[in-house]
């Protein structure tokens, strides 16, 4: 319940920020237009996010004939989680990673790279896919997609702030410093809100995924292995579309001095430590319904 309240507060923060950028651009009318655009963005994200993301990654759908072991694994885990069978996709990328997408459990899809299938044991891969199904069960993918869509839209709106906010009769900015501040700080704040949503949800998906698979150690081992294997193996589609990084089980973006600040995921060490603690005490039964 706390995580849902936190997510609601963060989403409200993104919406308020959207309105604030709109107000900076065009006053009250700009705020109303920005909020209307936010609603349209949310509707578009709700209906088409899964297709958009899968196309970005050139994912190909597989079935029991084309990928029998992987498909059966997902089906068995979906049954354990009491979820409808999701569509299953493979991505021809060497970088090990996986994600889930879709607007609800009835319209969900899970995808994994060929690299993760090669890098992990069957037990570890089972833990990873249980994690992704945990996201589906909690409807995290819709929340993260909507927040990513709005954060990207805020960034685009803020870029217009320097040109359209507070103009005098001769078309010059009446407060250029404020315009620059909005253009720089609004996208920054939107990213922080978006990433806070993602980090909170990753811990919960690790917990529930370990319960679904009934094997916290397998997911802990998988996370550690993905973290080591992924270094030096960039996921090109994620680099082109960084707003999708939060959907992955492991941050796929290349590093830098601010990597910790802008990471969409908690540290691998902390995730592994929590799972190993869970393994030592014994996982509680997965929530039903």
Q: What is the 3-state secondary structure (H, E, C) of the chain?
A: CHHHHHHHHHHHHHHHHHHHHHHHHHHHHHHHHHHHHHHHHHHHHHHHHHHHHHHHCCCEEECCCCCHHHHHHHHHHHHHCCCCCCEEEEECCCCCCEEEEECCHHHEEEEEEHHHHHHCCHHHHHHHHHHHHHHHHCCHHHHHHHHHHHHHHHHHHHHHHHHHCCECCCCCECCHHHHHHHHHHHHHHHHHHHHHHHHHHHHHHHHHHHHHHCCHHHHHHHHHHHHHHHCCCCCHHHHHCHHHHHHECCCCCCCCCCHHHHCCCCCHHHHHHHHHHHHHHCCCCCCCC
Domains in the chain: ranges and CATH: 48-142+175-281 (3.30.2010.10)
Percent of the chain residues topping a pLDDT of 90: 43
- Give the per-residue pLDDT at 178: 58
In angstroms, the CA 47 to CA 139 distance is 14
Active-site residues: which are they? 132
Question: Please, are residues 144 and 246 in contact by the beta-carbon 8 Å criterion?
Answer: yes
When mean pLDDT is compared across 1-15, 30-44, 59-73, 224-238, the lowest value belongs to 1-15
226: its two tokens: 């993905």
* 123/289: higher pLDDT: 123
Distances (CA, A) of 111 to 30, 91, 116, 170, 285: 39, 7, 10, 54, 26
- Give the per-residue pLDDT at 152: 65
Q: Which residues contact 122 (CB under 8 A, 6 or more apart)?
A: 69, 73
Nearest residue to 24 via CA among 193, 154, 189 = 154
**Phi and psi for 14 in degrees, rounded to 5?**
-65, -45
pLDDT in tens, 13-53: 777 877 877 777 777 887 888 888 877 877 777 788 789 88
**pTM > 0.85: yes or no:** no
Q: In the predicted model, what is the mean pLDDT of residues 101-129?
A: 96
């Amino acid at each position: 319940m706390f995580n849902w309240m936190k997510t609601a507060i963060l989403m409200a923060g993104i919406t308020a920020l959207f309105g604030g950028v709109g107000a900076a651009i065009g006053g009250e009318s700009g705020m109303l237009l920005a909020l209307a655009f936010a609603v349209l963005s949310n509707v578009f994200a709700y209906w088409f996010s899964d297709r958009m993301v899968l196309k970005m990654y050139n994912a190909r759908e597989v079935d029991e004939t084309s990928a029998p072991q992987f498909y059966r694994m997902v089906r068995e885990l979906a049954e354990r989680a009491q979820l409808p069978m999701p569509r299953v996709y493979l991505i021809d990328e060497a970088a090990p990673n996986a994600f889930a997408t879709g607007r609800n459990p009835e319209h969900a899809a899970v995808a994994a790279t060929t690299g993760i299938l090669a890098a992990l044991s069957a037990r570890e891969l089972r833990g990873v896919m249980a994690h992704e199904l945990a996201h589906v069960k909690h409807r995290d993918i819709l929340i993260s997609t909507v927040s990513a869509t709005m954060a990207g839209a805020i960034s685009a709106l803020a870029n217009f702030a320097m040109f359209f906010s507070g103009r005098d009769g001769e078309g010059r900015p009446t407060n250029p410093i404020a315009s620059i501040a909005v253009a720089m700080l609004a996208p920054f704040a939107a990213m922080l809100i978006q990433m806070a949503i993602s980090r909170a949800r990753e811990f919960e998906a690790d917990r529930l995924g370990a319960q679904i698979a009934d094997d916290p150690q397998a997911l802990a081992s998988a996370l550690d292995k993905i973290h080591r294997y992924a270094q030096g193996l960039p996921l090109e589609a994620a680099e082109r579309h960084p707003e999708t990084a939060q959907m992955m089980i492991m941050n796929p973006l290349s590093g830098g001095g601010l990597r910790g600040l802008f990471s969409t995921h908690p540290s691998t060490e902390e995730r592994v430590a929590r799972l190993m603690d869970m393994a030592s005490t014994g996982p509680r039964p997965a929530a039903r319904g």
